[in-house]
């Protein structure tokens, strides 16, 4: 179900790509475009500390060739419970990647990917698309429950029943619609390390100088957010570029 090797879509097939403006989702966008999809990119303004990433997302969507880019306002901040949206909880910082905690980090946002994928499903149904791309990967699902392959697989099953296209699937009728595609959640990065993701992005020409991965970027008058260099995201990113033998073009 999570096999991501299916043949390319028909010309003009639409896909929805979740685009945060970070390294992973930008690579995911490049992969969706390479596979021939007309991409509708969506981003979320959800009270995150890192609002600069939304500007990066707009730049990337436009420069890489997405046919549309929506920024959807959602209010997760009122739910609290995560360092990414609750400024009373500190973002963990370190100089060493080995210090990243093995359990669920405080940067976890309750049900975030469930909500993000639900909006993606709504956009997909509106665009007559049956393909959604999300850039979750192995490094994430060690810590975030809603990045695990089992979660993605369960979401896909649910999503196929949730929409107009899914009506009739219960009785098997959907199978008999000649050539109709079933809804798929594509996770092309799921088994890749950060170094492998960067290598794939470089092959596809992703300009990583426009991406921002930091959980807690430094704002100043003459910049739109510089990476802190010490949060989990910054440490993993630095390690990934180092493994590819190059420096991070965003720093």
Residues that bind its own copies (CB under 8 A): 70, 72-76, 78-81, 104, 108, 110-115, 117-119, 121-123, 125-126, 145-146, 148, 150-151, 154-155, 157-159, 161-164, 166-167, 170
Q: How far is the CB of 153 from its own copies (least distance, A)?
A: 9
Block residue for tokens 């999300």: 134
Q: Which residues of 168-195 are buried (b: 16+ CB within 10 A; e: fewer)?
A: ebeeeebeeeeeeeebbbbbbbbebbbb
231 annotated ligand binder:
yes
Residue 234 in marked binding region: yes
Q: CB nearer to its own copies: give 162 or 199.
A: 162
Q: Is 121 annotated as a binding residue?
A: no
The answer to whether 228 is a known ligand-binding residue is yes
For residue 25, say whether it is annotated as part of any ligand binding site: yes
19 is annotated as contributing to ligand binding: yes
Binding residue per annotation — 26? yes
Give the pairing of strands 218-220 and 184-186: unpaired
Separation CA 229–CA 36 (nearest Å): 35
Distance CA 67, CA 65 (A): 6
Residue 80: CB minimum distance to its own copies, A = 6
Structure tokens at 6: 């299916």
**Closer by beta carbon to its own copies, 91 or else 109:** 109
Q: Is 158 exposed, middle or buried (0-12, 13-18, 19+ CB in 10 A)?
A: middle
* Residue 51 CA from chain centroid, whole number: 15
Tokens read off for 237: 């990113």
As measured in angstroms, the least distance from the Cβ of 1 to its own copies is 13
Q: In whole angstroms, how close is the CB of 185 to its own copies at the nearest point? A: 11
Q: At its nearest, how many Å lie between its own copies and the CB of residue 95?
A: 28
* Between 185 and 231, CB nearer to its own copies: 185
Which of residues 119 and 226 has its CB atom nearest to its own copies in the complex?
119
Q: How far is the CB of 49 from its own copies (least distance, A)?
A: 18
The pair of three-digit structure tokens given for residue 25, joined into one six-digit string: 């989702």
The smaller minimum CB distance to its own copies, of residues 6 and 126, is found at: 126
Q: Calculate the CA dihedral of residues 231, 237, 241, 243 and round it to 10 degrees.
A: 90
Residue closer to its own copies by CB (options 36, 166) is: 166
The span from the CA of 96 to the CA of 225, in Å, is 22
Q: Of 109, 158, 132, which is closest to residue 19 (Cα–Cα)?
A: 132
Q: Where is the binding site for Zn(2+), in residues?
A: 214, 228, 231, 234
Binding-site annotation, residues for ATP = 19-29
Residue numbers in the known binding site are 19-29, 214, 228, 231, 234
């Amino acid at each position: 179900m999570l096999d991501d090797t299916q043949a390319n879509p028909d010309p003009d097939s639409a896909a929805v790509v979740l685009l945060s403006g970070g390294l992973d989702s930008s690579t995911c966008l490049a992969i969706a475009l390479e596979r021939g999809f007309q991409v509708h990119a969506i981003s979320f303004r959800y009270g995150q500390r890192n609002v600069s990433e939304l500007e990066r997302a707009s730049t990337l969507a436009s420069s890489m060739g997405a046919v549309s880019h929506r920024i959807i306002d959602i209010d997760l901040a009122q739910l609290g419970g995560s360092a990414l949206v609750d400024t009373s909880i500190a973002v963990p910082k370190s100089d060493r990647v080995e210090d990243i905690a093995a359990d669920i980090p405080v940067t976890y946002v309750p049900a975030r990917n469930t909500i993000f994928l639900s909006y993606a499903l709504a956009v997909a149904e509106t665009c007559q698309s049956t393909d959604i791309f999300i850039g979750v990967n192995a490094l994430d699902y060690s810590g975030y429950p809603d990045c695990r392959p089992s979660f993605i697989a369960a979401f896909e099953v649910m999503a196929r029943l949730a929409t107009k296209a899914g009506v009739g699937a219960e009785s098997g009728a959907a199978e008999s619609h000649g050539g109709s595609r079933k809804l798929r959640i594509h996770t092309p990065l799921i088994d890749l390390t950060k170094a492998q993701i960067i290598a794939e992005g470089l092959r596809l020409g992703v300009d990583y100088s426009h991406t921002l991965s930091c959980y807690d970027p430094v704002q100043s008058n003459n910049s739109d957010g510089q990476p802190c260099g010490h949060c989990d995201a910054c440490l993993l990113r630095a390690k990934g570029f180092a493994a590819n033998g190059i420096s991070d073009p965003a720093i």
